Structure 1
């Protein structure tokens, strides 16, 4: 066991065994909304029932959790048992442009988030920017989530349980955290989660992608893009391709020059997804994330 000292306390470490991990890219690319970076380079965020602190030095990821004992959670959340090198090689061999992005964004990887939190978080993301989504979720957690810990005078809260959100009066969430119209949709989706059998969402990890996606879009208020975000970022469906305006535009630019439609109809969505799958197979979601992040940086320039 190795140790790394930050602010007077030792951090435990996990050997990455030659697998890449860049926390700036992984935690800052738009797939999760509750992470912040301190001036000392440590990333911190609430995952499930713990506050986590992370930093990568060389081939080690240093970590600590509040409460203690979160090693298995970190390995699971960061998907540290995945062979990311093999995935990157496979993608690079099939697309020179992806090969450039793998080198440029070396260490970006997909997360394995809690499916319930992922679904409800992406409901908050509809027609919203990443900073506003993050701010809204923190407001929701502080109002309706359970206290995880208090650290240096700051209280950290878990994401609200669906039962808590579903029990709120209609319209309450519309004025919380700048959610607007998304608030009532959030409450409605939370109620449908509560109405399902216990473990329903987590159980979707054990079914094929098509089945998981079909069950998610059957939830009123959940469209194909939110369903694909949940599939890709929490259910291990690496073939899932969330299609938003960025992804439609990059698909048009890179492999669908005759795609003239500006709006994302069901037919356009399916065509973009099919184009990704034809090129990148079961790793289409990884390819999408590289291309999405490239396009996101371009739009910010």
Structure 2
């Protein structure tokens, strides 16, 4: 199977920090050949990195005409589809953003970022699909990454559409929001171990469908950041942190800054010492932390802080490589 290359410097894209830093939960890393396999846009991708580019293979896709007739067979993107898949990958990684330039600006504004950015270069803010992003982060509440990934895969297996099988694994798309809004979904998800999150998922899906489905998310993209966040928090079980994750990762509000335990600790230890030792983060403190970094980094503060977040994760603190012995939690601040 041939590879297609997107030309870009390795300083512009670092896969390990981007795909394994808590933004998304559907990528796995094969350390033997340093390749990644994951799913987005109803497509199964394989990625690898070189000094001068990002290489990809399409293992299977519901977007490919050749795959629709037999979804159980892995398919290769034909020449006619290469432009489509390349465009999807460029959009997903936001490759139109000159990240080296922004790293320079953020480093000039902040010595801590300058230090972190030397090791954690090329950490990109993924442009994710809002439905998948929202329900993935509902699963993330009071949870750790391996269990979040398991829950997301259960959602896909139970309610998604089969894309293909590859090397003994069957891959599914993330379910349409209409599949998650039916009343029986809550009971089904509780049986699958989702706990209280089952109700959040079903009720939020029901609201989204009532408000217009995918079109509703597009209206949020056109709103100002704070207005979009307020609308998201009207969903069942969506608090400030999850709303900020969706704004940042799916709605192009790159100034959004989700405040969890790690972010609070980074802020208190390095920037806002008067916040040290607090047991809980109040709404006022949450806003103070976000506003501090927005003032420091500008209208892409959420992206800049994601680099600090990666640098703070213990699993990345061994020469920038993943430490398998550590499974960090992305806990929710109460």
TM-score, normalization by structure 1: 0.92
> What is the CA–CA distance in structure 2 between the aligned matches of 1:223 and 1:25, rounded to whole Å?
26
Correspondence 1:183 to 2:175? no
SS at 1:33 equivalent? coil
The Cα shift of 1:154 comes to: 2.0
In structure 2, what is the equivalent of residue 145 of structure 1? 160
Higher RCO, Cα 8 Å, sep 6+:
2
Q: 1:63 aligns with which of 42, 47, 56?
A: 56
SS at 2:274 equivalent? coil
CA contact (8 A) 2:132 2:174 kept: yes
Q: 1:99 aligns with which of 114, 117, 122?
A: 114
The Cα shift of 1:205 comes to: 2.2
CA contact (8 A) 1:261 1:268 kept: no
In structure 1, what is the equivalent of residue 67 of structure 2? none
Give the gaps of 5 or more residues in structure 1: 1-8
1:153-164 mapped onto 2 (5 Å cutoff): 153-164=168-179
The Cα shift of 1:168 comes to: 4.5
> What is the CA–CA distance in structure 1 between the aligned matches of 2:204 and 2:292, rounded to whole Å?
30
In structure 2, what is the equivalent of residue 78 of structure 1? 93
In structure 2, what is the equivalent of residue 174 of structure 1? 190
> For the aligned residues, what is the CA RMSD?
1.8
> What is the CA–CA distance in structure 2 between the aligned matches of 1:277 and 1:28, rounded to whole Å?
24
CA contact (8 A) 1:19 1:83 kept: no
- Shift in CA distance, 268/19, structure 1 to aligned 2, threshold 3 Å: same
CA contact (8 A) 1:91 1:280 kept: yes
TM-score, normalization by structure 2: 0.83
| Cα deviation 1:119-146 (Å, max 9, x = unaligned) | 1110110000011100111111111111
CA contact (8 A) 2:10 2:50 kept: no
* Pairs aligned (count): 292
> What is the CA–CA distance in structure 2 between the aligned matches of 1:296 and 1:126, rounded to whole Å?
18
Q: 1:54 aligns with which of 42, 47, 50?
A: 47
1:255-270 mapped onto 2 (5 Å cutoff): 255-259=271-275, 260-270=277-287
The Cα shift of 1:203 comes to: 3.4
CA contact (8 A) 1:91 1:283 kept: no
Give the gaps of 5 or more residues in structure 2: 62-76, 318-325, 329-334
SS at 1:238 equivalent? coil
In structure 2, what is the equivalent of residue 224 of structure 1? 240
- Shift in CA distance, 47/284, structure 1 to aligned 2, threshold 3 Å: same
Correspondence 1:276 to 2:268? no
